[in-house]
Each structure stands twice: as C-alpha cells, then as structure tokens.
Structure 1
C-alpha cells in the first residue's frame, strides 16, 4: 500500500453521533512524561502555528481493550507502527473509553499533558472530538470514521477506509460456500458503515447465489461476548451456515461458528487461526501506514487544507485503503478465488458494489436507481437494507 499525494477534493459533512455507548469506564494513559497545561480556549490559536505543527506528543483513545482480537487491537497495532516510525514522539494511549463525556475528559487530559495531535478512534467519539477541537484550536484532532462539514472546527478531520469493498469480496466467498442459502450477520449498532457492510456482504453473496438471504441481528454493543454467543446460536438454529459480524471483538463468534461446524467470515482482524476448518475469508484494518502519514502531515504544519483535514477515505481505486482482505480459507475453491480476483479488479477500476439498480428490502422499490453509483460519502450515510437482508435497523 502506497500513500499517494493525489487525492479527491476533500468535502465536509456533519453527522451527529448516534451512539450512547456502554463500554468499560476507565482511563489508562501510558508514556506520560510532560504536563503542559492547554490554555487555548474556543477562540483563536494561541501560538500562530498550524494545529499540531511541530508536535512532540500524540494521543490516542479507543473504545475497547487493546487485545480484543479485532477493532481496538488493530488500533493498538497502528500505534505501535507510529512508535517505530516516530521514535522521538511521546505517545499517550487510553483504552476502554466510552462514547460519552468520558471521551471528552480523556482527550482533554491528553492535551493537558502536552498532546497536540489527537486520534479519537471509535464512531461514537465524534462528538467528543468536535468539542475538544473547538476548545483547543492549536491541536489537530482526527476522528476515525465520522463525517464532518464546514460547520466543524478547522482543526478537526476524519479518516477511514471504504470498508464495504473487502466485505463485498468476502460475501462472494460466503455466497459460493453456503448450502442452506442462509447467512448470519451479527452487528453492534445500525450506524451507516455497519449498514453498508451488511448490504455489501449480501450483494457479494448474491452475485454468485441470487437467492441468498442474510439474517442481520444486533447485540446493541460493540463487544458483548455473552450476547454474541446467543446471537450466533440463534442464527445457526435458523439455518445459517455462514456467520459474519461487525463487532469490535470477534473471537466469540468465530469460535462459535467453528464449534458448530459452520463457516465463518472475519472482520477487523485475521482470525483464521481460530477456525482452521470453517474460515472462509475476512477483512482487516491495517493502520500502519495511514497513522504515520497523518502525523507527518500534521507535524510538518500542513494539516489545514490537506486531504486529512476533511473526510479522507482510502479505497481500492486509489490504492490506499487501510481496510484490506484477509487470508482466504483452504475450502475456498479456485473458481471462487477467480471471482473474488475479478471483483477486486473491478473495485480498483472505480466500480462500486452500490451501483444501481438495487432494490430495498421489499424487493420492489429501488433504493439505488439504475444509472446511479454511490460514492463513499453516500455509503457513509446509508440508512436502509437491500433486498435479501432480513432484519430491521432497530436491531
């Protein structure tokens, strides 16, 4: 993966956080050696420098534990890459930070300890990121996955990947493997990126098995192993012979599928070692190039007006996606691999799985008309399920 300097024109859109969050409370900062009080208020920059310019300390907050075998572990791996590429930077880390006012407190604590670059890495941290950016104009604040517009603080940017693309590819593997025609999808909350993933997975499966059904069920949590196990068992009892998920911690569902003798499709991390028999495919985060690139841009004083000072999305077409396909399982046939490779080539050419006509859940009403192809910004606002998905947006 090569980070190119040529990007689409940044755009800003604002999305209010949809999540209240119910993560474990607690703030554990590491590598804290400085304690510079931030006296910049909600007005003008106090230094005259660009936000984060010349930064010596950077802070990261995550909604879950660093060893969740999923989303937050990938964040942790990205932070380790920053430590290797920027050995002179002091790095502050805080895990298990809920998506509420505790996130504001955690981020502001890092500012008070000298951080002038902040990463808020969960969808529900967007409100906190906006508040802290407004209160600290000298600080560059980056949010993982949100959308902002011109009403947002100038020193706030978002970044993410077109996550639905590798999920579509994994759907092809699932559609080719299922014998019952029923796929199970366990998700946390019906936020746009999750909805887009459920739809893309279904569309990928339908590209090889038009009659496939995806049963989508919510846990109303990013990580609740007991509820995940319950949802997995329920899906299997309904005939699902492939299970996938959009959960932060992924181990429970992968292991439940393996124990039941059904296939699994991973998310956030390569969990193939947990399912030697049933692993089909998956998608995983690789922040090891994007985090350092963002930090370089900020430290050099080039954040304002850069691709990262907006809604940056890396994807297959620009070759810079931080979300990539995982290892294919041994049971994936050469024919299915060829279909996946062909679809990957299409994605790299600029094609999107959200190209109309695509029908809504009723199978009759177009949600994406013929001749329309959604952009990544469009997908980041998706609030409907496509035909073939059983479930509702309330979970």
Structure 2
C-alpha cells in the first residue's frame, strides 16, 4: 500500500488498489519467489549490547562502542535471537543502522518479569539514555506505560512504542506527548494469507493455533487468520465452513514462562495428538514449528505456518506452509531519519503491505510461501491477488463468539473496530478472554 498520512483513518483501511496487470504480475512473481530464504535482513556485525539493570539473568555486556553523534537504544521483551518477534525487530533495526555508520546502538533483551524480576522497562530505558541514547524503542505492547513514562521524563528523547495506541488521535487511549510515537505493521493482511495457506494445507480440516496472551491485538490476529482460512476453505477447497475446525489455545504470555504459562511444547503436542494437521502460532518462539518437525519425523502428517520472522520456514522447510512476517526496517528508517533531523512529531503508524512487491524491502509486512504448499501455491497466489484488488474479509455479516453482531451484511469494519476487537468471531474455538 502506498503510504498516506499515518494518522488518517483512510491510511489504516484495508488496501484497495485498482487492478493493474503489471502489479498483479509482480505480486505473483514475488509470491512464487518466496521469502523463506534463510537469511536475516542484516549482514552487519552484532551490535553493541548492554546488560542494563537486572535482578536476574542479565544479558552479557559487550565492550562499549566508540562514541557516536547519535545513539539508538532498544528494549526487547524477549531474546534478541528468538527466531520470532524480537529477532524481527533486532534484524530490522540492524539493517537500517548498517547504513548509518555514525549512529550508535545498544539493546537490552529479555526485559520481562521472568528473566528480570522487579525491573521495569523504564529503568532500562533510563540506563540507555544515561549512556547516550536519544532514540529509544520499546518493542512490546506490555511496555505502553513505560514508554509514556520515559517520554514524559525525557522530552529531548524520541520514544517509539511497538505497538500501542497512545499517539493515535482517533483511538480510545490517546495521550498527547510530542516525543512519543507508535509504530505497527498491518500484519492482519498477512494473517489472512497465513490462514489461507493453512486451509489449503490441511487434510483433516483441523487447524490449531498456539496463541500467546489474550488482548485486542491477539484477538484480531487470530480472527484475521481464521477469516482467511474460512474464505479459502470455501472458495478454493470447495468445502463447507462447518467442516473446518479452527481452534486457539492461549498459553498466557508471548513465550513460555515455566510455572506461569501453559507449556507451548505440550500445547503443540496436544493439537497434533488430537488430529490437528496444521499448526499456526502467535508466539515469539518456535515451539509449534519444532514440535511439528518432531511429529513429522515420527511419521505423522503435520505442517505448520510460522509467524513474525521471515526465515521461519528454515526451522523445518519440508513441512512449512509459509510465514507471515514483519519487515520493520522501513518504519524504523523513517522514524530515525526524522528524529535525527529534529523533525520527529508524535504519530501513529499502522502500515499495510506493499502489494507491488509483497516480499520486497518496501513492504512492512509480507508472506513467504513454504515448500509444503506444493500445488496449493497457485490458489494461494490467486487469493493474494484478490486481496491486492480490494477483497475485504473484515466485512459483514460477521458475528462475535457470543452471537452478538459484529458487522452487518455488507458493512466494512473501521480501523478502530479491528484494532480494538473485543471478541473472537464466531467459527473460532477457544476463549476470547
């Protein structure tokens, strides 16, 4: 989608570009080329890392880098190399900073209650700022109040929160703060494609989702995947929607915390043992892929769809249907360049895919098809073209799980209705809270 004003509701709508043969050709070619190439978005050396304040499990510190004219700090909720959410952020910002040799960088990972008890994100940010950071990124929704606290305490520092909505003037929780911004990729579109891939790949009609915690974000992403699965199940598989089982089990956090969350390894195994032959995931970590690989090695017909990191199919290429992923580089590049020039102003950016080159460097979200798609890659490509030409799956009639109306027949959801989705939609098995 061609970027428009990031705070305009129109900029947040599902992209509806007109059908253009050259664009359609590019879409098909980019999809066929794939994105599961096994390479990160950066080839630069590992960046400087600091342990930051910690009561437990501190990250190891590297020697301090030479002083830079401008410095970026990042607070990561999980391990920087988790093959998921955190690695996608880490790789994305590395790829940007590799082209900005005069910009310094430090990050602190595993800033969460399990790895660093009693340590707040704002404390870590204070430490990064004391070491020279003038641009600070928080990469988890859980940090929304930390980000606001940091922005208020350090008005000279640009603070970016992924995802959050405090900078959204049309949102429910707007808190004006000139140096605080929110960035997010509109992964819902890629989740439509992921759901379609799952529906095209299942032989049993049973798709299991290993979900993290339950909030507005995770509800809308699971719903987006289901809507894509249901559409492709009916249109391309020519089967009845009631014959599709789409179930989510929430573990309670973005990754496993022993004794606190459900064990995602067991959840994955339970799905497989229950006859679910396609696993999807919303976690930061790769348990669904790893357990699918193990089960496949034992002779079971099981496949998976990865999430977050574009190299996710590398975990088990032969059984991977694809990966819905974020490319954070364009969003980070724009924000850092504005901040360095002294021109950053609070903004809410929720940017969708660039269908002219879905898996290229300009698209903030993408979908890399996996080898396990086989002949199903053709109908998946046709579905992507439908999306590019205006197919809107967040359109009525749709009901919530409890039977109440979400969208009337023909009614398209607003950006706010999608962002603040209060329930899963009817057709999904699993709790909404």
- TM-score normalised by L of structure 2: 0.75
1:324-343 deviation per Cα after TM superposition (whole angstroms, max 9, x unaligned): 1023324332xx33333233
Matching residue of 1:327: 369
Q: Is 1:129–2:169 an aligned residue pair?
A: no
Q: 1:393 Cα deviation (Å)?
A: 2.6
Secondary structure of the residue aligned to 1:392 is coil
For the residues of structure 2 that align with 1:233 and 1:225, how far apart are their CA atoms?
A: 18
Q: Which moved more, 1:175-184 or 1:147-156?
A: 147-156
Equivalence map 1:18-167=2 (5 Å): 26=58, 32=64, 56-98=70-112, 102-148=120-166, 149=168, 150-167=174-191
Give the aligned partner of residue 278 of structure 1.
319
Match of 1:348 among 370, 388, 413: 388
In 2, Cα distance between equivalents of 1:159 and 1:96: 21
Distance of 1:155 and 1:74 partners within structure 2: 24
- For 1:221, what is the secondary structure of its paired residue? coil
**Alignment map for 1:242-321 (pairs within 5 Å):** 242-250=278-286, 252-261=287-296, 262-269=302-309, 270-304=311-345, 309-316=346-353, 321=363
Secondary structure, in 3 states, of the residue corresponding to 1:108? helix
How has the CA–CA distance of structure 1 residues 187 and 271 changed in structure 2, closer, same or farther, with 3 Å as cutoff?
A: same
Deviation at 1:360, TM superposition (A): 2.0
SS at match of 1:347: helix
- How far apart in 1 are the matches of 2:354 and 2:383? 12
Contact 2:72 2:135 in 1 (8 A): yes
Residues in 2 aligned to 1:116 and 1:223: alpha-carbon distance in whole angstroms: 30
Equivalent position to 1:359, from 399, 403, 422: 399
Residue in 2 aligned with 1:239?
Answer: 275
The Cα shift of 1:354 comes to 0.9
- Listed as ranges, the matches of 1:186-225 within 5 Å are 186-209=210-233, 210-211=241-242, 212-224=244-256
Q: Judge which range, 85-94 or 221-230, deviates more.
A: 221-230
User: Cα 1:301–1:318, aligned 2, differ >3 Å: closer, same or farther?
Assistant: farther
Q: State the TM-score, normalizing by the size of structure 1.
A: 0.82
Q: 1:145 to 1:9 in 2, by over 3 A?
A: closer
Match in the other structure for 2:5: 7
- For the 8 Å contact 2:396–2:409, the answer to whether it is kept is yes
SS at match of 2:366: strand
Q: 1:383 to 1:358 in 2, by over 3 A?
A: same
CA shift, 1:31, in A, is 6.6
> In the alignment, what sits opposite 1:43?
none
Q: Which moved more, 1:100-109 or 1:110-119?
A: 100-109
Contact 1:116 1:140 in 2 (8 A): yes
2-structure distance, mates of 1:348, 1:276: 27
Structure 1: state its 5+ residue gaps.
12-22, 36-53
* Total equivalences in the alignment: 355
Q: Distance in 1 between matches of 2:62 and 2:180?
A: 24
Residues 183 and 331, structure 2, Cα contact 8 Å, conserved in 1? no
Residues 1:312 and 1:188: Cα distance change in structure 2 (over 3 Å): same
Task: Specify whether residues 6 and 208 from structure 1 end up closer, same or farther in structure 2 by C-alpha distance, changes over 3 A only.
Answer: closer
Please, which runs of 5 or more residues in structure 2 have no aligned partner? 10-54, 169-173, 234-240, 297-301, 357-361
Against the structure 1 CA distance between its residues 352 and 300, is the aligned structure 2 distance closer, same or farther, given a 3 Å change threshold? Answer: farther
Per-residue displacement from partner, 1:286-314 (whole Å, max 9, x unpaired)? Answer: 2223212210011112211xxxx222011
Name 2:31's counterpart in structure 1: none
CA contact (8 A) 1:268 1:284 kept: yes
Q: Secondary structure at the match of 2:120?
A: helix
2:201 corresponds in structure 1 to 177
Q: Do the aligned partners of 2:369 and 2:377 also contact (CA within 8 Å) in 1?
A: no
Q: RMSD value over aligned CA atoms?
A: 2.6
1:75 aligned counterpart, secondary structure = helix
* Contact kept? 1:280, 1:329, Cα under 8 Å: yes
How far does residue 275 in structure 1 lie from its aligned partner after superposition?
1.8
Shift of 1:176: 1.7
**After superposition, what is the alpha-carbon deviation per residue over 1:258-309, rounded to whole angstroms, capped at 9, x for unaligned?**
22231100111232222233211221122223212210011112211xxxx2
